[in-house]
Structure 1
């Protein structure tokens, strides 16, 4: 690592990312409620700001030298069984995809949704359960790392209200995001890699936007989201237990050798 992780660095990245997403989204002129209703609005209102965020996050991660701790655990969770919660999340996403009338999507619309899923999975996971997590691990116990990254991940969605989403719906989204974000944390701890969490996050968002635009009947899977969040919070203890992922600091001799 070029730069030793610090809590303030993680918070600075978080604030900077949220500001960039807000500013670029605002300049696009697309309301949050219009995202996912057409190819144009999805490209301009979501993919554009996420693409900018992805480039800036990648550059930041490279400059800090945090790619390895941001993407990989040194030791995976001793308990593997909590992975059933993210697995349930995947099942719900597939249910939403199967409950979508895909005939209502043209090629550009489909590509915009795919780009949205890839970008949101990369950006939001690298920022919250990658860089922010790495920074918090420098001085906080793992239970606080999980809790604070989850809460900040949820709070990040408050900008949706400033971009045109109803405040009541946004507050509900904040709570659900904080809870279901725990599922992505579980994926990281159990598999040892943030990449799988990125993939699940992307599929989840693609499914949510697709079924929201063209549902076939009632989207029953939506009612399982709170259940997933509650289950994730209930079982997360077993993937936190025994965690020792604090950044390895160079010894004085090693530091002197680099001088």
Structure 2
């Protein structure tokens, strides 16, 4: 039986979630780069997004170690019985590749590329926060269907902070809805593979591709990427019913060690 330094509780996961959002917001406010200007230069991308990700990654690594939650945060005890829903993440990879093939690579310079590499950290920080630590906390009390829904919903709502850092409200709300769908895809990927690592990688490269295609003049395949992404989300929303069915991932806390 798994043993933890700190017994998983729902409130701990929520504190970690809101603390991460607050740290990202505060760091971005200190740098003073509006969200809509992130993609304009390497300096903007690093100060606007990269720096907050570095700070967040360090704090999350420390927090996870202190809690003793690395193992349950990164892996499930059993994979989902149904594997076909992995089609949804696979289709998202197609959308990602469409973004990359539509990117105006000629508009890149060394600074923007370096800042874009730092952006890959978003896969580690946001996945560990939501489908890692928050998921562990929710599994201490809730059924798996609620674990999926709440981790995906809070992941979507996390993006509301972009409206406070310069993005207009309408596209922010659209981003929240799409993030809920993307969160479902990442959750499905975790359940089918049994590991959060693949979701971290897909998430990181997805954000890399969206900022990449938004820099310079996108190519002709850009419009198709959005359509393919919607198709992936629809399949994930269907498939999630199969990956939560029969899931036995409740965190056993009765014999956990609390310090």
Category of TM-score, reference length = shorter chain: over 0.9
CA distance in 2, matches of 1:84, 1:229: 10
Following superposition, which runs of at least 4 residues in structure 1 exceed 3 angstroms of deviation? none
- What CA deviation, in whole Å up to 9, does each residue of 1:169-218 have, x standing for no partner? 00000011011110000111011110100000011111111111131235
Report if the CA contact (8 A) 1:36-1:113 is conserved.
Answer: no
Q: For 1:232, which of 208, 213, 236 is the aligned residue?
A: 236
CA deviation map 1:16-61 (0-9, x unaligned)? 1111110000111100001122100011000001111111111110
Q: Residue 166 of structure 1 aligns with which residue?
A: 168
CA distance in 1, matches of 2:252, 2:246: 17
Inter-partner Cα distance in structure 1 for 2:187 and 2:125? 15
Cα distance in 2 for partners of 1:88, 1:224 equals 7
In structure 1, runs of 5+ residues without a counterpart are: none
What's the RMSD between the two structures over aligned residues?
1.5
Match of 1:38 in 2: 41
Q: TM-score, normalised by structure 2?
A: 0.95
CA distance in 2, matches of 1:26, 1:230: 35
Partner Cα separation in structure 1 for residue 61 and residue 219 of structure 2: 38
Distance 1:163 1:222 in 2: 24
8 Å Cα contact 2:140-2:253 kept in structure 1? no
1:106 maps to: 109
| Counterpart-to-counterpart distance in 2, 1:164 and 1:239 | 37
Match of 1:127 among 126, 129, 145: 129
Distance 1:15 1:206 in 2: 24
Which aligned pairs between 1:188-203 and structure 2 lie closer than 5 A? 188-203=190-205
How far, CA to CA, are the matches of 1:86 and 1:123 in structure 2? Answer: 19
Paired position in structure 2 for 1:185: 187
- Separation in 2 of the partners of 1:155 and 1:137? 20
Aligned match of 1:58 = 61
1:74 equivalent in structure 2: 77
Q: Secondary structure at the match of 2:39?
A: coil
What is the TM-score when the length of structure 1 is the normalising length?
A: 0.95
Counterpart of 1:19 (choices 17, 22, 32) is 22
1:86 aligned residue = 89
Q: How many residues align?
A: 254
| Equivalent position of 1:146 in the other structure | 148
**Which structure has more RCO (C-alpha within 8 Å, separation ≥ 6)?**
2
Question: CA offsets, 1:116-161, max 9 Å, x none?
Answer: 02x1000000000000000000000000000000000000000000
